[in-house]
Amino acid sequence: MTGRFIVIEGPDGTGKTTQAKRLADALAGAGQRVIQVREPGGCPSAERIRVLLVEGEPGDLLNWTEALLMNAARHELVERVIRPALEAGQWVICDRYYHSTLAYQGGGLGLDQSKLEALIEMATGGLEPDLLLAFALTPEDALTRARERDDEEKRFEAREDSYHARVRHAYADVLNAAAERGETAEIDASGSVEDVAERVKRAVAKQFQDAF
């Protein structure tokens, strides 16, 4: 019996973290064994790496250091938590995955795509999601939501506007390419938390008839 690996991706402030929790709760409520993790982080060693990545100033790390740390954290999470959970037949809800690396370190920082893909392969051992939920929201709405959030993790947000525009475009390309390979559901992330949660549930139920 093997578990189900669901990844939520989409630009900052689209509601990924909010909906990851809602989905995990809904699946648990339906009697599924489910864990919820986030990237970077999701286990103690990777959460320590996360602090290096998300706190401080944009210039604190060299670009490839950022990419290497992201993938070091990803490797810890995949091998220590995600793969064992899937092998034990659990559902895994993951808030961001390697698509974020292609958008932020690839599109945003301009790092070489094929080198990043090789690094991702090393970090994940080729583990692909069974379903990718690609959240879509207008940049204006996403920015309003992201600004409402109050936290210490400002290193990425502190970058200039042109960086965020490059990330947005790269994200769209990465998620479109994933959709062409299948197992992707684009989720309209506008409207209330309740509305979006309902769309997510429908997409999951469509992909996995035994979910709820």
Ligand X SMILES: Nc1ncnc2c1ncn2[C@@H]1O[C@H](COP(=O)(O)OP(=O)(O)OP(=O)(O)O)[C@@H](O)[C@H]1O
Binding site for ligand X (CB under 6 A): 12-18, 145-146, 148-149, 192-193, 196
Half-sphere exposure of 88 (CA within 13 A, CB side): 13
Which three-class secondary structure state does DSSP give residue 152? coil
Nearer CB in complex with ligand X: 3/40? 40
Question: Is the Cβ–Cβ distance between 47 and 136 less than 8 Å?
Answer: no
Binder of residue 140, out of Mg ion, ligand X, none (CB less than 5 to 8 A by kind)? none
Structure tokens at 111: 């790092």
Spatial distance between the Cα atoms of 118 and 112, rounded to a whole number of angstroms: 10
Nearer CB in complex with Mg ion: 80/145? 145
212, containing H or E segment:
none
Tell the smallest beta-carbon distance from residue 2 to Mg ion (Å). Answer: 27
Binder of residue 15, out of ligand X, Mg ion, none (CB less than 5 to 8 A by kind)? ligand X
Nearer CB in complex with ligand X: 62/146? 146
Does residue 139 have a cis bond before it (omega within 30 degrees)? no
Spatial distance between the Cα atoms of 45 and 76, rounded to a whole number of angstroms: 7
Tell the smallest beta-carbon distance from residue 11 to Mg ion (Å). Answer: 10
Binder of residue 18, out of ligand X, Mg ion, none (CB less than 5 to 8 A by kind)? ligand X
* Closest residue by beta carbon to Mg ion: 17
Footprint of Mg ion on this chain (CB under 5 A)? 16-17
